[in-house]
Structure 1
Amino acid sequence: MGRPAMTADSLSTTMRDAAATLARASATAEVTLANGWPCAPWCLEGDGHPRESHRVDQRCQGRLYSVGCSLEEAAPASHKELDIDVDPHISAYACGRYYRLPYVALYVYRESSRQFWSVDTEFKLTPAEAVAMAKNLLTVVAEIQGGA
């Protein structure tokens, strides 16, 4: 049992579909060359990052969700609003780089007066890992509150 024989009509239809697909890809490539590359729907810039001269710099980033770490050494007073440029905090945001899978970025920042104790780093998590971490955090909170 082989494939059914291709008729002139089905070949014509297949070629027409292929030509339409190629035309769409070509149009997308022209827009991509003019405007950078297609951004993710959650990208705050959404313009294809045309100012970036290298592919590695073309990076989509979503909204920043930050929490101040009030128990840390350099934490601001309780009446102060969080300043993510100087105050210890943890941030989460969607991130994606040129033709790579998007990930959840977990950014941790803490300055310390003690040598080698400062932290300024980003962890890359798959969406599934981020969900697992969120569940773990909720479990720990429930333990502390006596609900686990």
Structure 2
Amino acid sequence: MSFTATEPAHYIATTRDITVVVKPVFLEEQSAPDSRHFVWAYHVRIENGGQETVQLVTRHWQITDANGHVHDVRGEGVIGQQPVLRPGESFEYASGTPLGTPFGVMVGTYQMRAENGEQFDVDIPAFSLDSPHHRVVVH
């Protein structure tokens, strides 16, 4: 799925000229609200706006459900890949997560490696996992 950063429901963070854009989508057809099973897909675009070539080495996600339970996810690369991004290049992928509550929040970091071997973290913006089975109340 391709998207631009100007559409609604996108979350954006930029670290060292690396921009991460996330678009979460609730998957009604894979969810079973009566069984407290809610599933989201999230589409990610990583853009290298800098002058150096970088490689995505690892990922770290913190997934928090509506009850405040946090699940840490760490691993190599994303979807089995450790993409290399030259200046001006981007990489897109989609993944997903289930929750036992009708809403939650995800946030994280990608560890990148520059050509000179320097490693640094790039922020993944915090984004909301909202289902139509949750009524938002603003006080």
Could you state the TM-score of these two structures normalised by the residue count of structure 2?
A: 0.30
Structure (1 or 2) with the greater strand fraction: 2
Structure (1 or 2) with the greater helix fraction: 1
Give 1 or 2 for the bigger CA radius of gyration.
1
